[in-house]
């Protein structure tokens, strides 16, 4: 299968001369993050904001290990990286690279540059000391806001220069591609004012809408005009989105010119079902209504990614739908997690996600964690670890089958114990709940998750938790489990004893390599298959071969 996919990748990745580089590729409206030449599923954890310091990192790795995460998302602070103008200090980055390699974990670096959550608190001190040169926006009526201005050429140039230096450094020191993606800025946008009302911004606002944006509007776009003339009541927000996206796009392009890793921007979301006015959220960020503006203004950004802190299912699913588009790869770089929310990893996969990463999962014990439970313990990490442990041994295969459009997932919702996933010739019927709770209404809390992917006409990859999975032939015969193998993809030559120690809780370094081969651990039969395939929390993945009688 891989051999048939590779030529397609080669064609798709022509824009980067080095095909060993991580990249985001698109085919038939689906997307993959390619790492070491093959689709990769990012099972991530984002550290707390102040965790990327030498004394803090020892409190990060044990959590990553416990989670079975394959990627750590962690910041690079502009204030630390460029303590004096033009003098760069890569020591934090270098330490991270060394420790990530030791722990066999990939990195996604988060560039805390001009924007961090809509503010500019990570500007180096020498910049903070010159607020006239590196200004914040001015709201309607002259009130200063704590958001940086996207109209400062000096600040944009300084950010592009520093980000370029970071990417140049990565190119020099990371030949093995420990860093697989970089986030440019963090939740860029404006708080407290829908846009900048400074004299410089006013001049642009009453001037012509840029031709690239008119072009992005397609047929029927007005011939031209000022922002209020072209966009009416949306003019303030669209102007801000264009201005910020254009700035971030310039920073991204400067980095990409040095080293073309995949780049993304994360978004603080607006309510996906009942959005309020732009003044009620971070205006100008890559919210769902302005993705088209970001695409037009910042072509160097590969992915616009939602930070999903919505913890009701309807909103969560809607966000996944809004950001999974033929022209946008779904990546969830920050999200909530809990006993029930950890199942949303499977929901994201069902929408084609290339990665999913909860926020704030380390042992630095940031005490006022606004996400909920304030202290990280193994118990608080366990629900996420459950999803990652199931996926880790089949990570490459899951990513490959998802890119090929062969993968579906089911996530339990209260009161809906049954779900059906239709494939070519077969339907998978998921029944959530254990024992007596099945059919009776599902698990006591909605924790069930299931993943089914078609590997061949009668062959499936199946895994799940707190559910039973069975199959129905669409041609009417009775389903027969011909062979059910429990196993994992291992690097050829991995010893059985190391796999056993992995299964007992240590990291499974043997899993998930690009040349992984399926290793059968044992067959399921008898009680294990007579009434469908039962999943609690334990089993590894199954290769299932079906027939009819
Ligand atoms: C979203 C931001 O992107 C993160 O850096 C962090 O501040 C979280 N919110 C949680 O507070």
What architecture is the 43-374 domain classified under in CATH? Answer: Alpha-Beta Barrel (3.20)
**Residue 88: closest CA among 154, 161, 184, 173:** 161
pLDDT above 70 coverage of the chain, percent: 91
Q: Which numbered atom of ligand 1 lies nearest the CA of 360?
A: 10
Radius of gyration of the chain (CA): 24
The residue to mutate among 120, 186, 191, having the most atoms of ligand 1 within 8 angstroms of its beta carbon, is: 186
3-state secondary structure of 477: coil
Nearest residue (by CA) to ligand 1, atom 5, is 49
The Å distance, Cα 323 to ligand 1 centre, comes to 19
pLDDT tens across 182-232, in order? 999 999 999 999 999 999 999 999 999 999 999 999 988 999 999 999 999
The whole-angstrom separation of Cα 113 and Cα 199 is 25
Nearest residue (by CA) to ligand 1, atom 11, is 370
**Residue 391: closest CA among 148, 71, 167, 175:** 71
Give me the residues paired with residue 328 across strands. 325
pLDDT tens across 47-63, in order? 999 999 999 999 999 99
**Residue 410: closest CA among 449, 381, 437:** 449
Q: Where in the chain is the domain with CATH 2.60.220.20?
A: 408-548
DSSP per-residue string spanning 110-134: EEEEEEETTB-TTS-HHHHT-TTTS
pLDDT tens across 114-152, in order? 999 999 999 999 999 999 999 999 999 999 899 999 999
Q: Which numbered atom of ligand 1 lies nearest the CA of 75?
A: 5
Give the H/E segment covering residue 137.
strand 136-138
What architecture is the 408-548 domain classified under in CATH? Answer: Sandwich (2.60)
- Asked if 463 and 393 count as a contact pair (C-beta separation under 8 A), the reply is no
Q: What is the pLDDT of residue 62?
A: 96
3-state secondary structure of 74: strand
The residue to mutate among 286, 305, 307, having the most atoms of ligand 1 within 8 angstroms of its beta carbon, is: 307
The Å distance, Cα 266 to ligand 1 centre, comes to 10
Whether 506 has a pLDDT exceeding 50, the answer reads no
DSSP per-residue string spanning 306-350: EEE---SHHHHHHHHHHH-BTTB---B-EE--STTGGGHHHHHHH
The whole-angstrom separation of Cα 48 and Cα 77 is 13
Sequence-ordered strand ranges (E) for 274-315: 303-308
- Asked if 41 and 391 count as a contact pair (C-beta separation under 8 A), the reply is yes
The residue to mutate among 44, 49, 188, 336, having the most atoms of ligand 1 within 8 angstroms of its beta carbon, is: 49
Place 10 in a pLDDT band, splitting at 50, 70 and 90.
very low
Q: Where in the chain is the domain with CATH 3.20.20.80?
A: 43-374
Burial class (CB in 10 A: 0-12, 13-18, 19+), 101: middle
Q: Which protein residues touch ligand 1 with a CB less than 6 Å away?
A: 49, 117, 186-187, 307, 334, 359, 370
> Given the structure tokens 């079975």, which residue do they identify?
68
The residue to mutate among 281, 334, 374, 376, having the most atoms of ligand 1 within 8 angstroms of its beta carbon, is: 334
Which residues, 6+ apart, have CB-to-CB distance to 337 below 8 Å?
Answer: 358, 361, 383, 384
The Å distance, Cα 117 to ligand 1 centre, comes to 7
Nearest residue (by CA) to ligand 1, atom 1, is 117
Q: Which two tokens stand for residue 24?
A: 């985001």
Range 394-406 average pLDDT: 96
- Asked if 142 and 187 count as a contact pair (C-beta separation under 8 A), the reply is no
The Å distance, Cα 538 to ligand 1 centre, comes to 32
40 against 495, higher pLDDT: 40
- Asked if 246 and 293 count as a contact pair (C-beta separation under 8 A), the reply is no
pLDDT above 90 coverage of the chain, percent: 83
- Asked if 201 and 243 count as a contact pair (C-beta separation under 8 A), the reply is yes
Whether 371 has a pLDDT exceeding 70, the answer reads no
pLDDT tens across 423-475, in order? 999 999 999 997 767 777 899 999 999 999 999 999 999 999 999 999 999 99
Burial class (CB in 10 A: 0-12, 13-18, 19+), 394: buried
């Amino acid at each position: 299968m891989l051999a048939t996919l590779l030529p397609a990748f080669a064609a798709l990745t022509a824009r980067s001369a080095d095909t060993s580089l991580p990249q985001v590729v698109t085919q038939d409206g689906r997307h993959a993050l390619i790492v070491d030449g093959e689709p990769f599923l990012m099972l991530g954890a984002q550290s707390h904001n102040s965790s990327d310091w030498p004394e803090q990192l020892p409190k990060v790795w044990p959590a990553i290990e416990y989670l079975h995460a394959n990627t750590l998302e962690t910041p690079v602070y502009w204030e630390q990286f460029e303590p004096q103008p033009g003098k760069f200090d890569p020591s934090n980055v270098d330490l991270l690279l060394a420790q990530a390699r030791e722990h066999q974990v990939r990195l996604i670096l988060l560039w805390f540059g001009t924007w961090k959550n809509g503010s500019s608190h990570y500007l180096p001190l020498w910049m903070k000391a010159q607020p006239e040169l590196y200004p914040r926006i001015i709201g309607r009526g002259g009130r200063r806001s704590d958001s940086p201005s996207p109209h400062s050429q000096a600040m944009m140039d300084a950010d592009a220069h520093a980000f370029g230096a970071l990417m140049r450094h990565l190119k020099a020191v990371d030949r093995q591609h420990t860093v697989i993606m970089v986030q440019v800025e963090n939740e860029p946008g404006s708080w407290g004012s829908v846009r900048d009302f400074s004299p410089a911004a006013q001049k642009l606002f009453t001037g012509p809408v840029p031709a690239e944006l008119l072009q992005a509007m397609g047929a029927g776009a007005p011939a031209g005009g000022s922002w209020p003339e072209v966009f009416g009541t949306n003019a303030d927000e669209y102007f801000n989105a264009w201005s910020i996206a254009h700035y971030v796009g310039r920073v991204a392009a400067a980095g990409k010119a040095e080293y073309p890793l995949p780049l993304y921007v994360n978004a603080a979301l607006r309510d996906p079902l009942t959005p309020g006015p732009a003044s009620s959220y971070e205006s100008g960020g890559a919210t769902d209504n302005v993705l088209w503006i970001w695409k037009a203004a910042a072509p160097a950004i590969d992915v616009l990614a939602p930070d999903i802190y919505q913890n009701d299912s309807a909103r969560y699913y809607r966000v996944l739908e809004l950001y999974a588009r033929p022209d946008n790869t779904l990546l969830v770089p920050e999200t909530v997690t809990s006993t029930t929310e950890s199942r949303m990893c499977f929901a994201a996969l069902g929408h084609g996600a290339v990665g999913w990463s909860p926020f704030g999962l380390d042992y630095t014990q940031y005490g006022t964690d606004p996400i909920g439970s304030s202290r990280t313990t193994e118990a608080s990490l366990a629900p996420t670890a459950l999803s990652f442990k199931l996926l880790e041994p089949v990570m490459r295969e899951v990513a490959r089958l998802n890119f090929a459009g062969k993968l579906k997932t089911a996530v339990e919702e209260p009161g809906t114990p049954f779900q059906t996933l239709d494939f070519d010739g077969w339907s998978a019927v998921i029944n959530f709940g254990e024992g007596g709770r099945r059919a009776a209404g599902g698990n006591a809390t909605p924790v069930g998750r299931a993943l089914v992917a078609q590997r061949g006409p009668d062959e499936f990859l199946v895994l799940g938790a707190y559910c039973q999975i069975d199959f129905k032939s669409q041609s009417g015969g009775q389903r027969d489990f011909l062979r059910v193998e429990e196993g994992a993809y291992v690097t050829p030559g991995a010893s059985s004893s190391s796999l056993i120690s992995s299964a007992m809780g240590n990291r499974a370094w043997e899993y998930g390599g690009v040349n992984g081969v399926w290793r059968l651990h044992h067959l399921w039969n008898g009680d294990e298959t007579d009434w469908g395939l039962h999943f609690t929390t334990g089993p590894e993945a199954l290769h299932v071969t079906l027939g009819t009688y």
